[in-house]
Amino acid sequence: MSQFDLLAPIYDNMDILPFRKEIEIPSVLKMLGDISGMSVLDFGCGSGYYACLLKKRGAKRVVGYDIANGMLEYARNKELINPLGIEYVSTLDNLEQQFDLVLGVYVLPYADSREKLQVWLIIWLS
C-alpha cells in the first residue's frame, strides 16, 4: 500500500490552496486551450480532479490512468456518485483509441529512475 492509497480525499480538496486555485489550475487550463471534442488521457490522474475538469470543459472522452489503487477507487466512486462519463484505468494495455491530448500533472517527481521516466515519455509521445 502506498501513501496515495489513503490520501485521495486530501488530494481532491487541494484546489482550495491559494497556489493551486490562483496559479496552477488556471495556468494548466490556459495552456490546454479549447479541448472541446477531444479525447484526453489524464496520466497520473490521482483522485480524478483534473479528469473531471477536462470533462466539464468539453472533452469528448476522458480516461484517467493511475497506478495507485486507492486513488482510482476514490475517483471511480466519485464517478458513480456524479457520472460524467470518465473511465478510470490502472493499465494502458487495452485502450483502443489514441488521444488528442495527454495531461500529466504532478507525475514527473515520481519517476524514481531514468528507465521509468523513459517509459512515461514513450507513453506520452506515442
Distance CA 126, CA 86 (A): 21
Mean pLDDT of the chain: 83
Given a cut of 90, whether residue 112 has pLDDT beyond it is: no
Of 119 and 25, which is predicted with more confidence?
25
Note down the domain range covering 43.
3-125
d(CA 63, CA 95): 9
For the segment 69-73, the average pLDDT, to the nearest whole number, is 91
What pLDDT score does 95 carry?
Answer: 74
Tally the domains of the chain.
1
Residue 8 scores a pLDDT above 90: no
Q: Which three cell numbers stand for residue 8?
A: 485521495
CA atoms of 31 and 29, how far apart (whole Å) = 5
Q: Which amino acid is residue 116, in one-letter code?
A: K
CB burial readout 13-31, b (16+ within 10 A) else e: ebeeeeeeeeebbeeeeee
CATH number of 57's domain? 3.40.50.150
| Cβ-based neighbours of 88, under 8 Å, separated by 6 or more | 45, 48, 51, 63, 64, 65, 66, 72, 75, 76, 79
State yes or no: pLDDT of 47 exceeds 60. Answer: yes
Q: What is the pLDDT of residue 111?
A: 66
